[in-house]
Structure 1
Amino acid sequence: MELSSEDCLHDPVGQLPPEISSEIFILCLDDYPDLQAQSCPTLLLTVCRAWAAVALATPALWRRMRVAARYAGRTPFQERIMHAWFQRAGTSPLSLCLEGSWTRENTEIVREYATRIEELETKFTISSPLTVLIREGELPALKTLKLWGGFSTNEAVEVLRTLPHLVECTFDALRFRTPFDGAAPLVHFNMQHFHVGGVGDILQGINMPNLATLSLSTQFVALAQLVSFLRRSTPPLRDVLLGWHELGAPVVAMQAQLVNECCSLLPMLQTLEVIVDRINALSILTVLADSAHLVPNLCTLTVRLHDWSPTAAVVEFYEQLLAVVLARRSTLRKIRVFHAEAGSTDSSPVQTVIGTLQVLDGLDVRVEDGKTRDSTDSDTDPDASVEY
């Protein structure tokens, strides 16, 4: 309901300079606001004339949107709303999250504004009309891409080839073990943040010499392929998440030589997170403890153990973790350990080692297992948000 004239006189937002009100309105938005009238920013137009004037004069309010195509054909009403938002955004770059049934017909409005799209998140196959826009090079301004769909390694490499200006890219579900059959890896000079779920052989098909963040999460990572990628690319990686976790597969112990070489190729690394079994976690911790000159800038270490271990093995893990901390006291500032199994840390010997870690000056330590994680509010605990 629109505010009365008397209410508007006492509206604290209405007393602010328009540029401050604009910033407040922007902070009210979701990452990708819906087009519905009951959601911001459209809702702001219904409060009072002063709020509506500020909202319409703030292009940044209208540059991001989530659109669900509910019908295979064109939907004039939805297109009119999209046109209105695009026009209110002025010349601002666009950020779109596109869901639903996008066909050749209802993709035309996206094509019309394609040169202004800077961020795109969508879930489709390689042959869908929206993906065709990408493959045909019709998104020249695109810098951030999140694709949720079953792409093969070669299809993913071709997407990267058509988008040389990408700075951040996420492939959520590459198909497993699809070999790269290109003559030579693609060199992508602008990529700084690369996130992949379902790795396959994607690392064989790319070089990224300016990469700062690499996330290969929740699926099996071939360590030899990772080492080869690091050798070829020599990226200045600062943040790495690696998943050595394949459901139902037997544990394959990492070769110590490869672990050493991998660490030697990460001289600028500051944050390391691994999803791993206990045996390979010990291999990683041993290298970090015995070779403190490798990964010399490491300040945050997170280990997510996805398998069950007897008490003696858990004690061994924490003793090795303590050795890492003692070897890296000058740089290591944060330790996070998550156990998939409830009660993994209940025994007295385990608690003794954890207690030693927690009293060290300058070190922030958090340990959780399935039991403590169930009682944690993930909305207030960002470290508890990753699932096994």
Structure 2
Amino acid sequence: MSIIEDLARLLVISTEIDMQRAVLKKSENDRRLVQRQLNDVRDPVSRLPFQISSQIFIQCLPPVPHPRAHNAPILLPPVCNTWTDIALSTPALWAEIVVFSRAEGFKEFWQTWLQRARYHPLSIFLHRPFGDQIQKLELHYLSEAGNDGVIPDFLGGLGPLSHLESLSVFLDSGGNMLFPWTYVHIVEALRRLAPTLVECTLHRLLLNASDPPRHLVLPRLRQLSFGDRRDGEEFGSDDRILKYLSLPNVRTLTLSPRPHITVADLCAFLERSSPPLQELIITDRWPPLRLDTCLRLVPTLTRLELWDPRIDLLEKLFADLAEYPSDFLPALRSLCIPRHSVYEPPWETIYHALSVRRTQVTHFQATQTQSIYSAATNGRSWVPEPRPHLRVAFRELVADGMELNIGTEVLDFLLLD
């Protein structure tokens, strides 16, 4: 047999193989189609109103929205035609996504996800972010070996971000607690978001020294947090960046659990911004007798939260509240001092201030740390708690409508005999 005949025979065999593969592929598609039709017939979901079936699908979403084949929502469309229609007609199913890398083919996957989300605002948790439809964004950066000294593109690949309203940045430096970003780098990144950004939270952001950046105004920002001890945050962020910002509409400001900014710089920020600040949270000890200077610059403040304040700060704060009810924090409604470690709280001064403000302040919380209590005394404090006559006086404030929480998480002083 000649070589030409062998080649011709090989071509025939290859053609037959290709034809058999095509037949097999068609048969597999036909089987899937029949299976989906049978699923449609037997599926009770297909007999439910769309509003109910779509809510059932939404309840199937995992707590962390990883785009995996065995998780909703990706798991749902292949089941049957009815499930496909329901899933693709429920944009809320595609409203959240976690992305850890730009794997091969992800661009097409990303576009498909955006199409399915349609008009619904997206919450996207990214390591390598991009896209324009994003309304809420969480960035998670890891400090990896070999990357020291390299400044990553803080918002690289995101495009114009014309819909972004909420930004959270979480950093994990592997214990080094220092990233190579500079104030200029962060300010310029925020500058891109200035027209739309409403909320911003920065976690574990410690900055290298740099030349002062250009001043930045964020006109729509209403909430800025540098970490939050209420969420278990221990390290906070470098809040000295406030020296380079003006926030004329900020309502809530949470300083770092380990504040870096000075009282003078905070006062300068408040004077420059003149914000209608309503909530101020200071999550660690601070210079004792200077805080009142800042507080006098925010007469709109309705809620003040101080974590672990010093005794002299407490004394001055409550003395000023009592002495200047119309000039010092005149709009204050809620005052919280969670987890304080003051061994002798100034209960007399506290009561006097609250009694003067009884028509104004609706909530007061003072919670001591559990470590100052002795099990040998059945949970009673060996640190002076309000004396009996003061507990009676505090109860009278409660009777007048004030909400008081004084004690610990497990012991309410006002309930003691």
Please report the TM-score for the alignment, with normalisation by the length of structure 1. Answer: 0.73
Distance 1:333 1:274 in 2: 17
Q: Which amino acid aligns with 2:338?
A: R
* Closer, same or farther: CA 74–228 of 1 in aligned 2, 3 Å: same
Structure 2 residue matching 1:148: 3-state secondary structure: strand
Among 79, 83, 90, the residue aligned to 1:58: 90
Among 382, 389, 394, the residue aligned to 1:357: 394
What is residue 89 of structure 1 aligned with on the other side? 117
Structure 2 residue matching 1:357: 3-state secondary structure: helix
1:331 and 2:365 matched:
no
1:167 and 2:204 matched:
no
What is residue 300 of structure 1 aligned with on the other side? 334
Identity in percent: 27
* Closer, same or farther: CA 129–154 of 1 in aligned 2, 3 Å: closer
Task: Work out the number of aligned pairs and report it.
Answer: 338
Distance 2:125 2:41 in 1: 39
What is residue 14 of structure 2 aligned with on the other side? none
What is residue 381 of structure 1 aligned with on the other side? none
Distance 1:286 1:27 in 2: 52
1:272-351 aligned at under 5 Å gives the runs 272-279=304-311, 280-293=313-326, 294-307=328-341, 309-310=342-343, 313-314=344-345, 316=346, 318-343=347-372, 346-347=381-382, 349-351=384-386
Q: Give how far 1:146 is off.
A: 0.9
What is residue 137 of structure 2 aligned with on the other side? 120
Distance 1:155 1:355 in 2: 56
Structure 2 residue matching 1:292: 3-state secondary structure: coil
Unaligned runs of 5+ in 2: 1-35, 144-149, 172-178, 227-235, 374-379, 413-417
Distance 1:35 1:28 in 2: 13
What is residue 282 of structure 2 aligned with on the other side? 242
* Closer, same or farther: CA 55–328 of 1 in aligned 2, 3 Å: farther
What is residue 218 of structure 1 aligned with on the other side? 257
* Closer, same or farther: CA 366–180 of 1 in aligned 2, 3 Å: farther
Does the 8 Å contact 2:361/2:402 carry over to 1?
yes
Distance 2:395 2:56 in 1: 40
Structure 1 residue matching 2:87: 3-state secondary structure: helix
Q: Give how far 1:238 is off.
A: 1.4
Structure 2 residue matching 1:284: 3-state secondary structure: helix
Q: Give how far 1:26 is off.
A: 4.5
Distance 2:182 2:100 in 1: 25
Structure 1 residue matching 2:385: 3-state secondary structure: helix
Distance 2:316 2:210 in 1: 28
Does the 8 Å contact 2:40/2:82 carry over to 1?
no
Distance 1:42 1:223 in 2: 51
Please report the TM-score for the alignment, with normalisation by the length of structure 2. Answer: 0.69
Structure 1 residue matching 2:162: 3-state secondary structure: coil
Does the 8 Å contact 2:39/2:79 carry over to 1?
no
Q: Give how far 1:85 is off.
A: 2.2
1:83-232 aligned at under 5 Å gives the runs 83-99=111-127, 102=128, 110-111=129-130, 114-124=131-141, 127-129=151-153, 131-133=155-157, 138-149=160-171, 150=179, 151-164=181-194, 165-175=196-206, 178=209, 181-182=212-213, 185-196=215-226, 197-220=236-259, 221-232=261-272
Q: Give how far 1:252 is off.
A: 3.9
Once the two structures are overlaid, the 10-residue window that deviates more, 84-93 or 352-361, is: 352-361
Q: Give how far 1:74 is off.
A: 2.9
Among 265, 272, 288, the residue aligned to 1:253: 288
Q: Give how far 1:284 is off.
A: 2.5
Distance 1:36 1:354 in 2: 57
Q: Give how far 1:128 is off.
A: 2.5
Does the 8 Å contact 2:367/2:407 carry over to 1?
yes
Q: Give how far 1:305 is off.
A: 4.4
Distance 2:265 2:218 in 1: 17
Does the 8 Å contact 2:340/2:366 carry over to 1?
no
User: Could you list the per-position Cα deviations for residues 98-125 of structure 1 after superposition, in whole angstroms to 9, with x for gaps in the alignment?
Assistant: 14xx4xxxxxxx54xx221222111237
* Closer, same or farther: CA 234–343 of 1 in aligned 2, 3 Å: same
Q: Which amino acid aligns with 1:262?
A: C
Structure 2 residue matching 1:191: 3-state secondary structure: coil
Q: Give how far 1:88 is off.
A: 1.0
Does the 8 Å contact 1:44/1:51 carry over to 2?
yes
* Closer, same or farther: CA 88–292 of 1 in aligned 2, 3 Å: same
* Closer, same or farther: CA 268–365 of 1 in aligned 2, 3 Å: same
Q: Give how far 1:52 is off.
A: 4.8
Q: Which amino acid aligns with 1:175?
A: L
* Closer, same or farther: CA 329–272 of 1 in aligned 2, 3 Å: same
User: Could you list the per-position Cα deviations for residues 126-183 of structure 1 after superposition, in whole angstroms to 9, with x for gaps in the alignment?
Assistant: 833563336xx6323322111123443332222211211211111112316847713x
Q: CA RMSD in A?
A: 3.5
Distance 2:91 2:300 in 1: 38
Q: Which amino acid aligns with 1:188?
A: L
